[in-house]
Amino acid sequence: MRFSAAAIVVAAALVPPCAALEAAAGKVDITPDLKSEKIWLGGFGAVGRRPEGVHDPLYARLLVLREGGREVAIVAVDLLGFYRNDVQDLRRLSGFDTPERGLYLASTHTHSGPDTLGLWGPMIGVSGVNLAYHARLKAKIADALKLLEGQLHPVRALGGHGLLDPRGLCRDSRDPQIIDPNLSVLRLVGGDGKAVATVVNWSCHAEVIGRDNRLVTADFPGPLCSRVEEKTGGACVFLNGMIGGLMTPDSRAENFYEAERIGRAVADAALALKTSASPSRALRLRDEEILLPIENSRYRLLLPALIFGHRLRDAEGNLLPRWKAWTLALREAILGLDERTEPWVRSEVALLDAGPARLLGIPGEAFPELAIGGYDGRYSFGRPIITPGNPNPPDLSKAPKGPYWRDLVRAPAPMLTGLTGDEIGYIAPTYDFKVSPHKIMLPRLAGNHYEETNSIGPSATAIVNAAVVRLIEEKK
């Protein structure tokens, strides 16, 4: 592991806080009870895996911030993903559902947790979501957030940012070889000098433990947070970043030792970062609703299993009746849907300012090149940007030009977080979005084009990008 500090460019127009920042942090166990709650593990293949036990607990890690009349709850759940309907439910249950009281939720994307997306049941097309467990975990998180509100006390916010060499930690399994090495932390320290919470942002799939595993585990984010908590005495919140592309652990084996090694290495690098209290922005959370077409034909065929996560809409944003999920899936199977008849869903992009940290929340698994560019090979870390012998290489002459998201998000602790507020699948650069013309999108095209088959569709990339630019430009 190699670690080096990165220069920070700070935006000129910064808004000073109008009141003291207060914080409270904690965690709540959201591990399913395997004796009473039948679940399926999600994250690999097309069907779920029945768990045989629990290796380590899953948590919702919570941080509540208050400054003046505004409150924001940051929640990181050890889950594969959480749909927008669930996030909105949690906002209502916890009371963080007004302009002055917002909730910023992200998933760590563990591939050894319960199916929370409806894609990994006992067979293809059958949801693996346990609705009773789903309701229980939302209620537990909401209750815990309410308790934390009574524990708020003044804190000092410190932010830091650096580059972490990914070799031995994370690698890119798809060309172009581009890995986001950015590592950011937000530290909150009480008046007594003791740590209240540390927020860590880094990018890699939580899948050290592979598809043969039958034990519930948080994967590397578990040991990462445990290490930070052990060293600081405060809480830890891990926010995963831009993991599309596909960012997968650079591990020697698919075992718990390797998950521990990677988690602890990232934690130690985060703890070693130098931090500063300024410049600082006032606490504020803003989000923009976006409307996205479901262009993925496999998702269209599976609409009845997926509608618990989103309400279907037409191209104008009008709600469709729930029975439409069945008729649309049938029409896709027989005739096929087109731009006039395809369903749409609402999602969101979020921007959170908290002291020296600025967090940009993306609702899926964005490719790192959308965040950092790197088409010139600067983020390939010793590998050729195009793998020799790739039968279907990306045409880099068509790659998008900057500025990229990290060029726009400027702060002492810039954080780009994925799977935030929703999970719409992979967000791939449009120029390299290549799929088979068949309705089941198989066989996948040569050159590793798995991500397209697990994406809402190619149009989402431009829609998300436009929302990012509007949010940041408006918030300057």
Helix (H) or strand (E) holding 26: strand 21-29
What is the rounded CA–CA span in Å between residue 186 and residue 412? 9
pLDDT of 476: 53
Report the 3 state secondary structure along 264-302.
HHHHHHHHHCCCECCCCEEEEEEEEEEEEECCCHHHHHC
What is the rounded CA–CA span in Å between residue 382 and residue 243? 19
pLDDT value at 16 more than 50? no
Q: Which two tokens stand for residue 351?
A: 């921007």
Report the 3 state secondary structure along 323-369.
CHHHHHHHHHHHCCCCCCCCCEEEEEEEEEEEECEEEEECCCEECHH
Q: Which two tokens stand for residue 225?
A: 């947070």
79-103 mean pLDDT? 98
pLDDT of 13: 37
Structure confidence by residue, pLDDT tens digits, 385-431: 999 999 999 999 999 999 999 999 999 999 999 999 999 999 999 99
Q: Which two tokens stand for residue 385?
A: 């940007």
Give the strand pairing for 53-54 and 215-216.
parallel
What is the rounded CA–CA span in Å between residue 458 and residue 364? 13
337-356 mean pLDDT? 97
Q: Using 50, 70 and 90 to split pLDDT, how confident is the model at 123?
A: very high
Structure confidence by residue, pLDDT tens digits, 168-202: 999 999 999 999 999 999 999 999 999 999 999 99
pLDDT of 1: 37
Neighbours of 378 (CB within 10 A): 11
What is the rounded CA–CA span in Å between residue 297 and residue 303? 10
pLDDT of 475: 55
Across 54-89, b (16+ Cβ under 10 Å) vs e yields: ebbebbbbbbbbbbeebbbbbbbbbbbbbbbbbbbb
227-244 mean pLDDT? 98
Q: What is the DSSP letter of 37?
A: -
What is the rounded CA–CA span in Å between residue 18 and residue 23? 15
Amino acid at 35: K
pLDDT value at 11 more than 60? no
Please provide the average confidence, as pLDDT, over all residues in the chain. Answer: 94
For the residues of 216-240, what is the DSSP string, one character each? E---THHHHHHHHHHHHSSEEEEEE
Amino acid at 293: P
pLDDT value at 18 more than 90? no
Q: Which two tokens stand for residue 137?
A: 């975990």
Question: Domain ranges in the chain?
Answer: 3-7+21-286+346-475
Cis peptide before 246 (omega within 30 of 0): yes
pLDDT of 125: 86
Q: What is the DSSP letter of 15?
A: P
What is the rounded CA–CA span in Å between residue 228 and residue 249? 20
Q: Using 50, 70 and 90 to split pLDDT, how confident is the model at 278?
A: confident
Q: Do 427 and 155 form a contact (C-beta atoms < 8 A)?
A: no
pLDDT value at 120 more than 80? yes
**CA torsion sign, 429 to 169 to 235 to 87?**
positive
Q: Do 198 and 186 form a contact (C-beta atoms < 8 A)?
A: yes
Q: Do 110 and 80 form a contact (C-beta atoms < 8 A)?
A: yes
Structure confidence by residue, pLDDT tens digits, 296-319: 999 999 999 888 899 999 999 999
What is the rounded CA–CA span in Å between residue 114 and residue 218? 11
**Which stretches of 353-421 are DSSP H helices?**
368-372, 405-408
Amino acid at 34: L
What is the tally of helices (H) and strands (E) in the chain? 10, 19
> 7-21, 210-224, 276-290, 333-347: which range is least confident on average?
7-21
> 36-40, 236-240, 275-279, 364-368: which range is least confident on average?
275-279
255 or 306, higher pLDDT = 255
Whether the model pTM is above 0.85: yes
What is the rounded CA–CA span in Å between residue 423 and residue 82? 6
Amino acid at 408: L
Q: Is 286 exposed, middle or buried (0-12, 13-18, 19+ CB in 10 A)?
A: middle
Q: Do 202 and 208 form a contact (C-beta atoms < 8 A)?
A: no
